[in-house]
Structure formats: C-alpha cells, structure tokens
Amino acid sequence: MARKYFGTDGVRGRVGAHPMTVDFALQLASAAARVLAPHGGTVLIGKDTRLSGYMFEAALEAGFVAAGVNVMLIGPLPTPGIAFMTRHSRCDFGVVISASHNLYDDNGIKFFDAEGGKLSDELEERIEAELAHPPTTRPSVNLGRATRADRSRTEYQAFCARTLEAGLDLTGLKVVIDCANGAAYKVGPRILADLGAEIVPIGCSPNGRNINDGCGSTAPDLLQLTVPGVRAHVGVALDGDGDRLVMVDHLGRIVDGDQILYVLARAMQEAGTLKGCVVGTVMSNLGLELALRAAGIEFRRAAVGDRYVLAMLRECGGILGGETSGHILCLNKTTTGDGLVCALQVLAAMKQSGRSLAELAAGVRKFPQVLLNVKVATRFDPTAVPQVQAAVARIQQRMGEEGRVVLRASGTEPVIRVMVEGRDEAQTRAAAAELAEVVQGAA
C-alpha cells in the first residue's frame, strides 16, 4: 500500500493546508491510538518552538485522550530527546510536532515506537488505513488523562552527559552554540555549561516565528562570524528540532556531516570501539569515501534518509552513519540522530586528542559538489524520464570515474534534487546547471 501522508519523516506540510490542519491532527491522533495503543496506554508529546505547535499539541491531546490514551506533555525538546524520553518514561509511543529544518510556517507530526525508534512502514500504513474511520470518543470512564512533564527534561540532559566517558568534561573549551531558535534552546546550552564548557549562545531566543530563520545548521553564517570573533575553539549549530549538527572550526570554516562522520570514525577507530562499516548516503562526498578507505574503514552508501542509513547499519553490524546535512547516527550512544549527543562526541575527541576540529577534519579533502533544487508542481521519479536518463549518461561519460551524478525527489517538499560531484569545480557547476535545465523541462 502506497502511503499518502507519511513521507520519509512523518507527516509534514504548510500550516493550515491539508494535512497540517487541526482537524487532521485530531483524526491522526485517533487513528494512531487505535493502532499503537488499542487497549489504552500512554503517549509522550513534545514539540519545537513554532507558533503552530500549540494548536497541534492541543488537537493531538484531544484525539488521544478521547481514544483512551493518557498524554504526557513535555513541551519544547529536541526530537531525539522525545525519542529518549519515550523509552525512559516507558510510554507506548511518542509524538513530535516539528518540521525540522523548515521555516515556521511549516509543521509536521512524527511518531516514535516504545523503544524510541521510528515506526515501520507497516505501522504507518495501518495508521493511514485507520484514517478512513471517524475519530474515536470512548465513554467517560475510559477516557485518557493529560499531565505536564516539563520538569523531566533534566533526564534528557543527564542522558546526554552520560554519553561521554566517565570523568571526561569540557573544561577549557569555549563553544558557541546556535540552537536555531528551536527545540534545543534550553537544554543545549545547559548541557555544555554543566560539562564545564564556556558557552556563547546564539539562536536561543525563540519567538514562535524565527525558528531556522537565518540561524542554525541550515544558515550557519552568523556562527561562522561569531566563533573567530569571540576566539572560541569551536561552534555547534543544530537545526530546529535538534537532530542535525553542523560545526564550525576556530577559523570559522564549516565542518559538515561528512567531515563529522570522518572525525567520529577515526576517533572510534583509535579507541578500538568502531564496529562494522560506516554508512553514508548517495549524497555523501566522494572525499569522505576516499579518506575512510585510506584509513582502512569500510564505507557504504544508503539511500537518502536516516531510516535507510539505519537499515544498512543493521545489515553490516555498524554503529556509525549519517548524512551530509549533519543527521548522524551513533548507535553505541542512542537510537536516533541526535545533534547534541553527536556534538559531545566531537568535543570529546578534541579534548582527548588535544587537537583542534580543523586538525581532526583535515583528513577529508572534499570534491566540489553542486546541489541544485528544481521546484516542480508534483514530485516524480526523474530517473524514469528518457531525456533525463540521456542527460545523466552524457554527463557521467564526460566526467569519468572522478565524477558522480545523483538525482532524487525530495521526500518532504515538491523538489527534485540534482547533485553533481567532480574534481574540477567549473566543470561540475556547468554539468549541474545543464542537468537541472533538463529536469525542469521534464517537469
């Protein structure tokens, strides 16, 4: 069964337009309750800082309570924090209200199972099937209850700190942290400060509308200026829901997800804790693959999306994988991508080695990579279009073995992503522009 509403990361869209309406949120809660807690149970609901989070929180709460499910409302907390707290609080499932790195006028609803993992395709399909039925309202004696669980956020902070080796702290490190005016705006600075780091917070003043707006992992320009400006050792940039991480070295240079993967892989290798292969995606830079190969570390590519990275890690027995965007999985530390936990591991590598982030990441020489987003009316498979196939073959032949072409439809917005990678930057840019034009013509 093809899923109509669930994309690669839950249900997402423009606030006020179907499916991101109050009516649909209530209906979705009722459907999810019938599938995930048919005999009652408890759900944890968290959110980021979007203004619309309040109304979706209320709608979900109403749907769950009416269906006989108890609700714990934890308020703003990073998505990985909700995953952890769902498991830690022994809830039957968890819900996050967030559109991740999108601006405030989008929002989304995603689910975690009792173990803090993403729902299987089969469960999402069952929930969608239940949407055909009206919302459930049980008799008064069987209704659920709603309680606030804001104070339990400290449990997540303590968990993050415990991912470091016993006795290790961050004393002596000056860190600029940009929380994208999002879900980590409280816990992020507190975790670093509690571990002894000197912190300079930016992007930590949410007003409901400024999430991901000129800040965070998708717009780290201010962080790049601030880190050398205040003579910090490193900068940490999260996205709006705290599951992505981009860093900045002391010179103000971006260290993206590919480079972070390399830093962590080498640190684990040196510590003797690296297991299985390291997994990237089809979008991971060729420079990462070559650097890991030179270090004797096996590297594999999965489809874009952390669920596919996770599936391949399980297949090869690995514990470390992620995406260029900074969505990193450290399965020896937690169950899902966690920007704060990942940042702590990089900071620990700096502290233990006595080396700067610039030094640790220097082993990766990135190939020029051009990514163009082609907006389309409706998502389609570009690789199935004959004129696009011909253009890809032509460009691939021209660039040879030192070039890669990747085309994919975004899982969250009506966009076809065109990526071309090669050793020569001018040739790579020209090839990407040529292919984007062909894709636009086929839309």
The catalytic residue positions are 100
Query: CB neighbours of 257 closer than 8 A, spacing ≥ 6?
Result: 244, 245, 246, 322, 323, 324, 325, 326, 327, 328
> Residue 2: CA atoms inside 13 Å, Cβ hemisphere, count?
1
Which positions ≥6 away from 124 have C-beta within 8 Å? 3, 6, 111
Tell me the C-alpha distance between 380 and 393, whole Å: 19
For residue 306, what are the contacts with CB-CB under 8 A and spacing of at least 6? 9, 118, 322, 323, 327, 329, 336, 337
CA atoms within 13 A on the CB side of 16: 4
SS3 54: helix
The conformation of residue 101, written as its DSSP 8-state character, comes to: T
Closest CA to 260 of 347, 333, 346: 346
Helices (H), ranges, 67-183: 79-88, 121-130, 153-162
Pairing of strands 69-76, 299-302: unpaired
Q: Are 270 and 349 in contact, with CB atoms under 8 Å apart?
A: no
